[in-house]
A = this chain, B = another copy of it.
Amino acid sequence: MAATAQAGEARPAFPPPDVTARPIDRAAWIAAFREVRDETERRAAPLSPEDQQIQSMPDASPTKWHRAHTTWFFEQFLLRPHVPGYRIFDERFFYLFNSYYVAAGPRAPRISRGLVTRPTCAEVQAYRAHVDRAVVALLEDAPEPALAEVIGTVEIGLHHEQQHQELLLTDILHAFAQNPLAPAYDPAWHFPAPAPAKGALALDGGIAEIGHAGAGFSFDNESPRHAVLLRPVAVDRALVTNGEWLDFMQDGGYARPELWLSDGFVAAQSEGWEAPGYWRRTEEGVWSSMTLAGLRTVDPALPVTHVSYYEADAFARWAGRDLPTEAEWEIAAQSGLDGAYGHLWQWTRSAYSAYPGYRPVAGALGEYNGKFMVSQFVLRGASVATPRGHSRATYRNFFYPHQRWQFTGLRLSQGRA
């Protein structure tokens, strides 16, 4: 897929230099900014204005909205405070394209994002260009004393935009899956096969440290780095595959309540789940799946994806195994886990909560992560849709246990007696 850049390329501009590096390398930051902004446009390029307009479910957002909202972020948090005399592109966009930053003012209801046909895609493109010019000018011209704060905000804005780049793909996949014609986002797209992997990585028990510290970007929810007590555990090197999932299905996995969490079985029944998300059985009984390349036959050798936590948990119980905790995953990833990144977000059995001593950062950006710390589960790794430069061992992704429109899969683990 051209848009997600699977092919090899020259050294990328992203991630940018460490934000604490001195002197600040303005040119490198400008390159990083351009790279990320361009990547968003590359991902949107195959999509018609009609495609970019719709919101196919409340959890998803229109492509056009992703493009505008990531732009709003720079205008709201960077240009308005830092550029005297900055000409606002359109005052009304502050209301339209705020997502959930309560402290940043009133905002349009999430559910109505698909109803806003104006501004059009072309106007959003002009909005992006306007803001891009202003940001680049700011990076070029900001007085030295302000520069550290400027690049701090640029950095978070770029990571924020990368998160939306991933959502842009998962959201359009969901939208296309609703269309009886099953359109392809990119007919040449394919799921990247992980390197063959067998066996498990054994971890000793004892006190270890997880979480982010030191140089490099991280979100607030990755801190503070802190000690955890690990039990001895073995974490599978391979992701669970479609083939293994078909075994689970054939063994009645979706119909046996004893394998499921109670809420999970209710969800499976009421939603009519009998296979992973986007799977459809043809009239001949063959399973195919909606992908970014359109409808494709399910390949048993590939990792299973679009499974919810409920399903991952039931599968693990069926297999007599566990999902790893997020601490186990993080330590294992740092010890060398195959296929940790670039294929799927991997469900852990850790509920998403604050690390000991966690405090959100002050101001509107403090709404970023902390307020979602309830009823969700942590996923680790990174997926095929995650942009380059956006993966690290301490990264904490999180979704509700019923959600499955992301590229979500699993690997298993087992306690060692």
Per-position 1/0 for A52-70, Cβ under 8 A of B: 1110100000001000000
Partner of A118, one of B51, B95, B96, B102: B51
Beta-carbon contact of A118 and B263 below 8 Å: no
Per-position 1/0 for A344-363, Cβ under 8 A of B: 00000101011011000000
A313 and B354 alpha carbons, distance in the complex (Å): 12
Beta-carbon contact of B257 and A102 below 8 Å: yes
Per-position 1/0 for A40-54, Cβ under 8 A of B: 000000001111111
A49 and B103 alpha carbons, distance in the complex (Å): 34
Kindly list chain B residues whose C-beta atoms are within 8 Å of the C-beta of A373: 261
A245: min CB distance to chain B, Å: 20
A326: min CB distance to chain B, Å: 12
A349 and B353 alpha carbons, distance in the complex (Å): 8
Which A residues between 354 and 384 are near B, CB-CB below 8 angstroms? 354, 356-357, 367, 371-375
Beta-carbon contact of A356 and B415 below 8 Å: yes
Which A residues between 253 and 288 are near B, CB-CB below 8 angstroms? 257-258, 260-264
Of chain B, the residue at the smallest CB distance from A49 is: B49
A179 sits at the interface (CB 8 A): yes
Beta-carbon contact of A117 and B374 below 8 Å: no
Beta-carbon contact of A118 and B181 below 8 Å: yes
A330: min CB distance to chain B, Å: 15
Beta-carbon contact of A263 and B179 below 8 Å: no
Kindly list chain B residues whose C-beta atoms are within 8 Å of the C-beta of A28: none
A401 sits at the interface (CB 8 A): yes
Kindly list chain B residues whose C-beta atoms are within 8 Å of the C-beta of A119: 181
Beta-carbon contact of A353 and B351 below 8 Å: yes
Known contacts being A96-B180, A356-B231, is A401 close to B415, with CB within 8 Å? no
A282: min CB distance to chain B, Å: 16
Which A residues between 225 and 268 are near B, CB-CB below 8 angstroms? 226-229, 231, 257-258, 260-264
Of chain B, the residue at the smallest CB distance from A102 is: B257
The secondary-structure label for the interface of chain A is mixed
Per-position 1/0 for A175-216, Cβ under 8 A of B: 110111101000000000000000000000001000000000
Kindly list chain B residues whose C-beta atoms are within 8 Å of the C-beta of A121: 50
Kindly list chain B residues whose C-beta atoms are within 8 Å of the C-beta of A334: none
A178 and B114 alpha carbons, distance in the complex (Å): 10
A112 sits at the interface (CB 8 A): yes
A115 and B51 alpha carbons, distance in the complex (Å): 9
Beta-carbon contact of A112 and B207 below 8 Å: no
Beta-carbon contact of A260 and B371 below 8 Å: yes
Beta-carbon contact of B229 and A115 below 8 Å: no
Beta-carbon contact of A375 and B372 below 8 Å: no
Which A residues between 112 and 160 are near B, CB-CB below 8 angstroms? 112, 114-121
A sample of 15 cross-chain residue pairs with beta-carbon separation below 8 angstroms, ordered by A number, consists of A49-B50, A49-B53, A50-B64, A53-B54, A92-B180, A102-B257, A114-B114, A115-B175, A115-B179, A117-B175, A117-B179, A118-B181, A261-B371, A310-B374, A349-B353
Given contacts A53-B117, A228-B229, A313-B374, 5 further A-B contacts (CB under 8 A): A49-B50, A49-B53, A50-B120, A207-B229, A263-B374
